[in-house]
Amino acid sequence: MNVPANATAANLAENWAESLRSGQLEQGPSWLRTLRSAAASEFLLHGLPGNKDEAWKYTSLRRLEDLNPALGVTGTGVDAAEWIPLLSPAGGFGFRFVDGHLQWLHQQAPQGVSMLSLQDVLSATGQDQLNHLRPLLEAVDVGGRGHAFEALNTALLRDGAIIHVAAGVDAGLCLAQWGLGGRADCRLANFRLIIILEQGARLQLLEQFQDAGQPADKPGNEPQKNAGQALNLMLQAQLAADSVLQHVRLQSAASTSILLTFSDVHQAARSSYTCTGFDVGGGLVRHDINCRLAGDGARAEVNGAFVLDHERHVDHHICIDHLAPSCSSEQFFRGVLGGSSRGVFNGKAVIRPGADGSRVRQSSANLLLSDLAEIDTKPELEIYADEVEASHGATVGSLDEQAVFYLRSRGLGDTAARRMLTVAFCRAVTARLPDAAMAEQIAAVLEASMPKLG
């Protein structure tokens, strides 16, 4: 018997609701318990989003419903010490979150940088530090069905990491390694990553998401079947004046894994945030990125490349809010889709009254390599100020046959010509990375993940 999707969603939401009712977290001060309770009430009231919610109309949660993960983590499955990430840059500090468990990497953090476990801060000795975080934690929007996963993350606020960089300190490279899979039972892990940069501080953040249980899916082959896991990750970043956060994200999880990320970045005057993401894996992936340019001259840049095959689904929802004068933002995305995959790009820039002198650029270009592949792209501009510079554009198509013919006339075969053009299409994003060595490593991952051509 086929069960309607809305009935399945209701069953999953009710299962999670029952877990929330029976397992309220008591650790932490009274204001935090109130915050969790209010978030849980919002989830109990509204449930999960569906195709009638504008922000979710192109992204079905049916795969999450079919996976039917329980909330939280119990026991252990994968030995994090044996897990090898795709990228292993020299140096750096940070942590791993594998099989639902946080583990600090062995490298020592530079002077002026503190790393704390949220669970440790929730202890009696860390309550003063937690009170300093109170405005940040309370600022998360958990209202309505469209914010169900933010509400869930807040209701279960326990697992997390806090990275604090003192004023004027260049912290170098921070590694955040996420391992999905490797468990016999399906779980939805919730994690909160908080980054605080004081005035003039700098940090490079490298996030890697991949399967921790067995080798990643081989390019060009049918995805491997394993238990699958889900991660609901929220990143909150607070950037003081003149601070810089360079954020790189590489996602190559197994086809049975589900990844939901929500990034909320608040920027003071002249601060800079650059996020460059690469998606080549996962079954259902959703990235929500919200930047608030609250100080004069703040800058945000969000770049992305996704290479999808089989039935993978990757959704990017971005909103950059210009609240102050002379701010600038750019969104630059490239997508390659084969098989029956589907991509979503909804990039919005809002220029508020008084935010004169703002500059906005948006670009979304996509290649469809299969008649069954699909892309929904929607760049948006909302402008409420007079003196602004703004441009946006979106293209969807196939490879330029004239360019293919030109390369073939120079001795390349049809498949080699198409692969060269497709790889070059994605290198427009890797070329934006300031680290040339990292750019080459990521470009190699993208090339290895290309759908079959020719």
Asked, for residue 237, whether it belongs to a domain, the answer is yes
Q: For 346, what's the count of Cα atoms within 13 Å in the CB-facing half-sphere?
A: 16
266 within domain boundaries? yes
Maximal CA-CA distance, the chain: 72
Is the separation of the CB atoms in 172 and 204 below 8 Å? Answer: yes
Model's pTM, two decimal places? 0.92
Nearest one of 260, 280, 236 to 87, comparing CA atoms: 280
> Is 238 within a domain?
yes
Predicted local confidence at residue 81, as pLDDT: 55
Q: By CB neighbour count within 10 A (0-12 exposed, 13-18 middle, 19+ buried), where does 223 fall?
A: middle
Structural domain total, the chain: 1
Average model confidence (pLDDT) across the chain: 87
- In a domain, residue 218? The reply is yes
pLDDT of 216 above 60: no
Amino acid at 39: A
With respect to residue 11, please indicate whether it lies within any of the assigned structural domains: yes
The answer to the question of residue 269 being in a domain is yes
> Does a structural domain hold residue 216?
yes
Q: What pLDDT, on a 0 to 100 scale, did the predictor assign at position 263?
A: 98
Q: How high is the pLDDT of residue 1?
A: 28
- Which pLDDT score is estimated for 227? 60
- Structure token digits, residue 87: 């990228």
**DSSP string over 184-232:** SS-EEEEEEEEEEE-TT-EEEEEEEEEESSSPPPPTTSPPP-----EEE
Q: How many residues does the chain have?
A: 454
Q: Are 294 and 324 within 8 A, CB to CB?
A: yes
Residue pair 343/311 in contact (Cβ under 8 Å)? The answer is no
Give residue 24's domain range.
5-332+398-448
pLDDT for position 88: 77
Going by C-beta distance under 8 Å and a sequence separation of 6 or more, which residues neighbour residue 333?
Answer: 303, 304, 305, 306, 316, 345, 347, 363, 364, 365, 429
% of the chain exceeding 90 in pLDDT: 61
Q: Grade residue 220 by pLDDT with cuts at 50, 70 and 90.
A: very low
pLDDT of 425-438, one tens digit each? 889 999 999 999 99
Residue, of 180 and 205, whose pLDDT is higher: 205
Query: 353, exposed or middle or buried, with CB in 10 Å at 0-12, 13-18, 19+?
Result: exposed
Region 301-326: what's the mean pLDDT?
Answer: 96
Give the residue, 23 or 304, on which the prediction is more confident.
Answer: 304
